[in-house]
């Protein structure tokens, strides 16, 4: 019989791993791995402003703030890339630093406000998976369902957008709309994960499972499913390990497990793995 | 269908990129049923012209019509084969999947490709001689094979007008022959095929019409009238004569 | 060349002279870190000083990082009082830097080492939450009095008088606390909070004290810790656990939910002021008010 707290953490971590793995697959294929980093760092001022406006720590409101901020940051990156000579990686880096810096400034301001009850926003930096409440899990579950439905509904649109967006336009697709939907789902996935692993480590959750999964298959559907699976298992194992050891933070443990998946995949996977390649040569 | 309407009609098309003109005042009426090459030196704006016609780039001025109406209303009738280099061939998918993408236009947003679409895709692969490679991961294909499945993808759309961007670059001789045969078949069936072509040597052998340009248009029409020494000199020699030094 | 040197020396002299804060308002500028220290300072210093506290209500001193504005305030201070014992964990360097400019006093140095707690989980360091043993806080106030008198001997009489008054108040408070606590049956005297802030309270007034996060809030609570604490609550049938004003509610809520899942309906007994006092202008915004509020809340929740 699994204890209540540990059950909460395991379920929450698995959900986060699953959804961020699935959407990370597309981010990695589109060479937008930094996007996860940028959105999660950009979410910080959103959370801070949501707190400043409402002065409660209602997680729904804070997540809404995170989503809006993540959203705005992505739109800004797109605008910069379209209208200036700055390329995508530089734009992502710029927006990441500016928003995150702004978020830290807001946190400093908040820490001296004359209302009690306001600390805890710091927990969004590294996550506090151990204190996930049933209400948090419910919210995460709802958002996860939305994400999965979105993925299934728009599967072929995401596929063609990622592979050949010019061709998609020639077919009549409004590529901007597809991109908007994919970004919306990605932002949702990231926001789900913020409470568990925090702003700083969230990008690993987007990149690692997808990178591991890519090594094992050449089919998109399998890759995305594997990525979700790796993410979920990492979340589960990470949560379990950290719950057995005293004072081991959950977020970083999950990321370490994920990194192990990536390392193992890179070495051992057939067709793409290093050992396989070496054997083929000899 | 009205056979008098030009396949493609371009008026006053101008496109500038950061103050540099890339296309200048292009007027082009391409009749239906021709196999036309777009030729010119590097930087002449050939790829840009195709992209502007297809709505991939926004022109600074000018109008484009496909079969008498706007491109937007005619997308079902247009097939596009982009340059091979625009795509990452490490993407996890196989040849059949790529060709199936040509059916997405017919399917619309929420439907998935069904058995009928799969059959059409296999037929298209067969047309380009790639049906045995349907399951092959695209990164394992040679340049020529990749070009063929790109062509198959456009074929499966069963369009009226086809645009191709440098389909013969880096392909083996057998593939080149096979592709030219497919294009000629298309023309026999009354389709219009417009190809950005890089090799002046094979022009007269493959195509019946040509459009020669270098930012501004130089000549348009049947091959013999376009490919003349004066025209070639105007296109390929002394670029600075047109717009000053770059 | 000579003229230039004279000019530079002259300007520098002016700047040094102008930088002396004493010459401006005449009052001592005293900066304290926590509100509890600020409370001592205001009570003893009275109108003879200008008193500023850096950390307001709800602020967690374990995590507090000084801003540029804070550094400026500290720079202009004559005396800086801080808690010491690593309570202000992220400000250590600043105190070192300020030591040359101002008188920098860790008020806990007025407490002999034999009186300090050294919990085993905290490996060689002392528990810094000394203000919850009122008798120890009295000793800290002596440090404040000494420093004020040394820096400003003119007002010695005022400081001494006020200090005596203040210590009388603290004695009365100590007595009140003991009386109230006597109303809680001995087997109910278990205080469970978000972090180990109440060690001195427990030792002085006969309570068993258990915190979720340990001595400092810098460490994240692990799932194992949450579950272990919940198990303990269920096992010993603890009626109430407490949230703290400077720590997010969800940590204690997590313990409560875990206990509920095992069938034991533990209540949240109320909010305690642990590392910070209440809002300015309220009763709980003073040291005495804060301690009273805490004890009343604890006693009410546990004696049911």
Pairwise CB contact (< 8 Å): C58 & A115: yes
CA distance C151 to B175: 94
Give me the residue from B55, B93, B110 closest to A169, CB to CB: B55
Q: List pLDDT tens digits, range C246-255.
A: 777 888 888 9
- Counted residue by residue, chain C has a size of 304
Q: List pLDDT tens digits, range B194-219.
A: 999 988 889 989 999 999 999 999 99
Pairwise CB contact (< 8 Å): B87 & A170: no
**Nearest by Cα to C256 from C245, C244, C247, C268:** C268
Among A116, A128, A136, the residue to mutate for chain C (most C Cβ within 10 A) = A116
What pLDDT sits at residue A211?
Answer: 94
Question: Per-domain residue ranges for chain C?
Answer: 12-171, 178-302
Q: Which CATH architecture has domain C12-171?
A: 3-Layer(aba) Sandwich (3.40)
What residues 82-121 of chain A have any CB closer than 8 A to a CB of chain C? 108, 111-120
What pLDDT sits at residue A37?
Answer: 87
Give me the residue from B56, B92, B94 closest to A166, CB to CB: B56
Domains of chain B: 8-243 (3.40.50.300)
Low-confidence ranges of chain A (pLDDT < 50): 116
- Quick one: closest CA in C to A132, which residue? C254
Give me the residue from A31, A160, A220 closest to B92, CB to CB: A220
Query: Residue C10: which pLDDT band, with cuts at 50, 70 and 90?
Result: low
Average pLDDT over residues B28-46: 92
Say if residue B8 is exposed, middle or buried (CB neighbours under 10 Å; 0-12, 13-18, 19+).
buried
**Which sign, positive or negative, has the C-alpha torsion C131, C135, C139, C144?**
positive
Q: Is B56 on the interface with A (CB under 8 A)?
A: yes
What pLDDT sits at residue B238?
Answer: 56
Give the lowest-confidence range in A257-271, B5-19, B99-113, C119-133. C119-133
Question: Per-domain residue ranges for chain A?
Answer: 4-281
Q: List pLDDT tens digits, range B146-164.
A: 999 999 999 999 999 999 9
Give how far the C-alpha of residue B23 lies from the chain's centroid of Cα atoms, to the nearest Å: 17
Mean pLDDT over the full length of chain B: 89
DSSP assignment string, A187-242? HHHHHHHHHHHHHHHHHHHHHHHHHHHHTT-S-HHHHHHHHHHHHHHHHHHHHHHH
Q: Is B122 on the interface with A (CB under 8 A)?
A: no
Q: ipTM of this complex > 0.95?
A: no
Domains C12-171 and C178-302 equal at CATH topology level: yes
Quickly count: other Cβ atoms within 10 Å of residue A138's Cβ. 10
CA distance B181 to B33: 15
CA distance C80 to C31: 5
What pLDDT sits at residue C118?
Answer: 85
Pairwise CB contact (< 8 Å): C253 & A133: yes
Kindly list the distances between the CA atom of residue B40 and the CA atoms of A201, B3, B37, B47, B55, in Å, as whole numbers in the listed order.
52, 29, 10, 11, 21
pTM of the model: 0.79
Give the lowest-confidence range in A91-95, C98-102, C206-210, C214-218. C214-218
Q: List pLDDT tens digits, range C35-68.
A: 999 999 999 999 999 999 998 887 888 888 888 8
Q: Is the pLDDT score of B32 beyond 50?
A: yes
Q: Which CATH architecture has domain C178-302?
A: 3-Layer(aba) Sandwich (3.40)
Average pLDDT over residues C252-279: 89
Q: List pLDDT tens digits, range A40-58.
A: 899 999 999 998 888 777 7
Fold of A4-281: ABC transporter involved in vitamin B12 uptake, BtuC (1.10.3470)
Q: List pLDDT tens digits, range A69-113.
A: 998 999 999 899 888 889 888 998 999 999 999 998 998 888 777
Contacts of A166 in chain B (CB under 8 A): 51, 56, 80, 82, 86
DSSP assignment string, A151-181? HHHTHHHHHHHHH-HHHHHHHT--HHHHHHH
What pLDDT sits at residue B241?
Answer: 39
């Amino acid at each position: 019989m699994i204890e209540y707290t540990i059950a909460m953490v395991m379920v929450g971590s698995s959900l986060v791993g699953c959804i961020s793995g699935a959407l990370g697959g597309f981010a990695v294929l589109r060479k937008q791995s930094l996007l996860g980093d940028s959105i999660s760092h950009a979410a910080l001022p959103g959370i801070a402003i949501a707190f400043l406006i409402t002065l409660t720590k209602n997680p729904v409101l804070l997540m809404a703030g995170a989503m809006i901020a993540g959203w705005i940051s992505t739109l800004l990156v797109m605008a910069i890339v379209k209208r200036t000579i700055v390329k995508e990686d530089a734009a992502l880096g710029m927006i990441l630093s500016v928003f995150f810096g702004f978020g830290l400034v807001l946190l400093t301001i908040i820490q001296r406000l004359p209302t009690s009850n306001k600390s805890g926003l710091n927990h969004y930096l590294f996550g506090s998976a151990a204190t996930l409440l049933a209400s948090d899990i419910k919210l995460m579950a709802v958002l996860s369902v939305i994400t999965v439905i979105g993925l299934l509904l728009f599967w072929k649109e995401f596929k063609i957008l990622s592979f050949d967006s010019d061709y998609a336009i020639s077919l009549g697709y409004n590529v901007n709309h597809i991109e908007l939907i994919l970004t919306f789902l990605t932002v949702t996935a990231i926001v789900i994960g913020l409470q568990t692993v925090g702003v700083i480590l969230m990008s690993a959750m987007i990149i690692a499972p997808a990178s591991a999964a890519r090594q094992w298959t050449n089919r998109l559907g399998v890759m995305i499913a594997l990525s979700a699976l790796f993410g979920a298992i990492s979340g589960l194992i990470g949560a379990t390990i950290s719950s057995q050891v005293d004072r081991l933070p959950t977020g970083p443990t999950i990321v370490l497990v994920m990194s192990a998946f990536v390392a193992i995949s890179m070495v051992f996977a057939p067709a793409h793995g290093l050992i396989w390649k070496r054997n083929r040569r000899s | 269908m009205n056979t008098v309407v030009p396949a493609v009609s371009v008026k006053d098309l101008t496109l500038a990129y950061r103050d540099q003109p890339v296309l200048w005042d292009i007027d082009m009426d391409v009749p239906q049923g021709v196999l036309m090459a777009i030729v010119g030196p590097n930087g002449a704006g050939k790829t840009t012209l195709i992209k502007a016609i297809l709505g991939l780039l926004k022109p600074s001025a000018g109008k484009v019509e496909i079969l008498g109406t706007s491109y937007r209303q005619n997308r079902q009738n247009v097939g596009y084969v982009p340059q091979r280099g625009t795509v990452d061939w490490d993407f996890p998918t196989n040849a059949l999947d790529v060709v199936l993408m040509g059916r997405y236009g017919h399917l619309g947003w929420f439907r998935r490709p069904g058995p009928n679409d799969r059959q059409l895709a296999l037929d298209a692969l067969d047309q380009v001689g790639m049906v045995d490679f349907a399951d092959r991961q695209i990164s394992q294909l040679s340049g020529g094979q990749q070009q063929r499945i790109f062509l198959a993808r456009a074929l499966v759309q069963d369009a009226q007008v086809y645009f191709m961007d440098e389909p013969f670059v880096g392909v083996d001789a057998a593939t080149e022959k096979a592709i030219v045969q497919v294009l000629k078949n298309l023309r026999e069936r009354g389709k219009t095929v417009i190809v950005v072509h890089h090799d002046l040597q094979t022009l007269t052998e493959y195509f019946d019409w040509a459009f020669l340009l270098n930012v501004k248009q130089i000549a348009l029409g049947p091959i013999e009238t376009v490919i003349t020494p004066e025209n070639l000199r105007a296109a390929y020699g002394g670029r600075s004569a047109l717009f000053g030094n770059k | 060349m000579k003229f230039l040197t004279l000019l530079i020396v002259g300007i520098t002299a002016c700047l040094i002279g102008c930088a002396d804060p004493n010459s401006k308002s005449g009052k001592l500028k005293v900066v304290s870190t926590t509100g509890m220290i600020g409370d001592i300072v205001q009570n003893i210093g009275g109108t003879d000083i200008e008193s500023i506290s850096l950390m307001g209500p709800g602020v967690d001193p374990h995590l507090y990082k000084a801003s540029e504005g804070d550094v400026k305030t500290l720079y202009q201070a004559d005396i800086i009082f801080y808690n010491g014992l690593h309570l202000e964990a992220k400000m250590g360097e600043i105190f070192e830097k300020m030591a040359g400019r101002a008188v920098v006093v860790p008020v806990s140095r007025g407490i002999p080492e034999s009186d300090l707690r050294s919990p085993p989980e905290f490996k060689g360091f002392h528990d810094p939450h000394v203000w919850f043993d009122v008798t120890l806080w009295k000793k800290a106030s002596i440090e404040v009095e000494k420093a004020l008198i040394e820096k400003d001997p003119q007002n010695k009489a005022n400081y001494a008088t006020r200090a005596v008054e203040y210590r009388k108040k603290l004695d009365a408070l100590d007595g009140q606390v003991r009386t109230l606590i006597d109303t809680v049956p001995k087997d109910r005297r278990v205080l469970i909070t978000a972090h180990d802030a109440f060690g001195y309270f427990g030792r002085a007034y006969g309570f068993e004290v258990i915190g979720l996060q340990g001595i400092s809030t810098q460490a994240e609570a692990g799932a194992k810790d949450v579950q272990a604490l919940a198990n303990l609550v269920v096992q010993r049938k603890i009626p109430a656990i407490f949230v703290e004003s400077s720590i997010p509610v969800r940590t204690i809520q997590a313990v409560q939910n875990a206990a509920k899942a095992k069938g034991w309906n533990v209540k949240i007994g109320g909010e305690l002021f642990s590392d910070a006092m209440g809002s300015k202008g309220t009763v709980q915004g003073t040291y005495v008010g804060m301690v009273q509020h805490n004890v009343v809340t604890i006693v009410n929740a546990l004696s049911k």
